[in-house]
Amino acid sequence: MSAHILEVSGLFVSYGRVEAVRGVSLSIPVGGIVTVIGANGAGKSTLMNAIMGVLPSRGEVLFQGRPLGRSLVEARVGEGVCLVPEKRELFAAMTVQDNLQLGAYRLGRSAVAGGMEEVFARFPRLKERRGQLAGTLSGGERQMLAMGRALMSRPRLLMLDEPSLGLAPLIVREIFRIVTDLRKDGVSILLVEQNARAALQVADEAYVMELGEITLHGPASQLAADSRVIESYLGLGARH
């Protein structure tokens, strides 16, 4: 068994003739939090969608030492990979409870009750709102529901795409607290963030992505002190 839950090497993703991700390699240790920071349009979301199988890609993606090859998204969910996309992609016309239930689709009905208890313990707000339609939730609640729904499938690797986007600072702090909690429960995390400061605080390792390529890589604490990172992503006026 490899010490890494995910190993990506030489990954290319193209939209038509435009290469959005060019030869990206990265790895996530088991139980680790890895963040990819970078400006808008650097290819971070594209990278995650390719790992999830939503977008076709070239290159190798090993999950728990086995190549994911060309397997479908739904098969990857079954293996234990889960993506919380930037747009959340909730089932707006269905209740919170139904959304969570469907999160456990691959595990079957027997896994629903236990999983739902755990999610409600983590996100008490969702318990209050469980009969409400997902489309009527506030931004923060939607993000909680998207994460809760993902956790229902008991992922080994959880990929979060801009979990703090558009949320109030108090809720952002709450989301990041939950991210660190998840690691304690053995979930490995790949975090894509524009809020580089917060991301570097919770992550063990970090990658900087620019124009589809990885330009810097190292321990998060080291990158947080790197002058180039400070200048481009952490300094005043670096808010993207």
Partner 1 sequence: MNATIALFLAQDGIINGAIYALLGVALVLVFAVTRVIFVPQGEFVAWGALTVAALEAGTVPGTAWLLAVLGLAAALLEVVRERHAMSVAKVAVMVVRDVALPFALLGLVIWAAPMRLGLAVYVLVTLVLLVPMGPLIYRLAFQPLADAPVLVLFIAAIGVHFSLLGLGLVFFGAEGFRNTPFLDMSFPLGPMMVKAQSVWIVVVTLLLLAALYAFFERTLLGKALRATAVNRLGARLVGIPVRATGRMAFALAAAIGAVSGILIGPLTTIYYDSGFLIGLKGFVAAIIAGLASYPLTALAALLVGMLESFSAFFASAFKEVIVFSLLIPVLVWRSFAAGHHDDEEEE
Residue 16 touching partner 1 (CB under 8 A): no
Residue 22 touching partner 1 (CB under 8 A): no
Q: In the set 1, 17, 40, 69, which binds partner 1 (CB under 8 A)?
A: 69
Query: Closest approach of Cβ 198 to partner 1, in Å?
Result: 24
Amino acid identity, position 10: G
Query: Closest approach of Cβ 205 to partner 1, in Å?
Result: 25
Residues of span 203-222 touching partner 1 by CB under 8 A: none
The site map against partner 1 for 130-169 (x = CB under 8 A) is -------------------xx-xx----------------
Torsion of CA 4, 64, 212, 162, to 10 degrees: -90
| Nearest Cα to Cα of residue 214 among 5, 21, 82, 32 | 21
Return the half-sphere exposure (C-beta side, CA atoms, 13 A cut-off) of residue 182. 31
All residues at 6 or more sequence positions from 239 whose CB lies less than 8 Å from its CB, including other chains:
none
Q: In the set 13, 37, 50, 77, which binds partner 1 (CB under 8 A)?
A: 77
Return the half-sphere exposure (C-beta side, CA atoms, 13 A cut-off) of residue 88. 24
Residue 178 touching partner 1 (CB under 8 A): no
What pairs with residue 61 in β-bridges?
8
Residue 102 touching partner 1 (CB under 8 A): yes
Query: 90, 146 in Cβ contact below 8 A?
Result: yes
Per CB under 8 A, residues contacting partner 1 are: 52, 54, 69-74, 77-78, 82-83, 85, 89-94, 98, 101-103, 105-106, 108-109, 112, 149-150, 152-153
